Amino acid sequence: MWNKDYNVNAYHGGVEAPDWLTAKHSCGTTIIAVEFDGGVVIGADSRSSTGAYVANRVADKLTRVTDNIYCCRSGSAADTQAISDFVSYNLDLQRMELGEEPLVYSGAKLFQELVYSYRDSLTAGIICAGWDRKKGGQVYCIPLGGMLMRQKMAMGGSGSTYLYGHMDNQFKENMTKKEAMDFVTRAICHAMARDGSSGGVVRLGVITGEAPIERHVIYGKDLPYLTSDVK
């Protein structure tokens, strides 16, 4: 048996330290953002893992960039936190310089430049979503490698591989706020039920530009895991 008192890189009795002790802290995750009639809904699970070990059951992967712009993070937790801090800092400077709130595209473009420029050293998949005075609610997907595209619905993380058929079948344009929230919640639950790296609670955010972000947390006993009622 490995002895916890030994250095994680050392051997004891011919047995190496467990992989999860030296694995990078990552966000095996499910993140989703959807444009609806009036703004955007963002959502994510809350499981943060280190290898096969669940390091945090209630991580918050919906990160503020500005009051009206948020990002959903997947990949390395350290990398995505550093990137979001950098983008937030630069958009704060832009707001002070111009005297107005930054556009969502400005934030998305900064994310893209960072993810692309450091694609060989960072593991970061970002969904940048928010509301601005020019284009209303917007969702931009910046996957690994640094591509940038606006989508009415975007998803990412390890759990997204289980959702393509469900999302294509259930998504519709110009949903109401409640329809969009239900859509994102159900999709994340489907992924959590199938992906070992997704779990915990569902965190939602609604951004409309009329007020600060509206945050919701849906706990395990209230999650719609059952698939029999999907039409």
List phi, psi (to 5°) of 74: -140, 150
| Coil/strand/helix, residue 192 | helix
Q: Token match 């999907």: residue? A: 230
Q: Token match 């002790």: residue? A: 21
Instruction: Tell me, yes or no, if 29 is annotated catalytic.
Output: yes
* Other residues' Cβ atoms within 10 Å of the Cβ of residue 220: 11
Quote the CA–CA distance of 5 and 7 in Å, as a whole number. 7
List of residues 6+ apart from 102 with CB closer than 8 A? 66, 69, 91, 94, 95, 132
Considering 22, 29, 63, 80, which one is annotated as catalytic?
Answer: 29
Task: Kindly list the catalytic residues.
Answer: 29
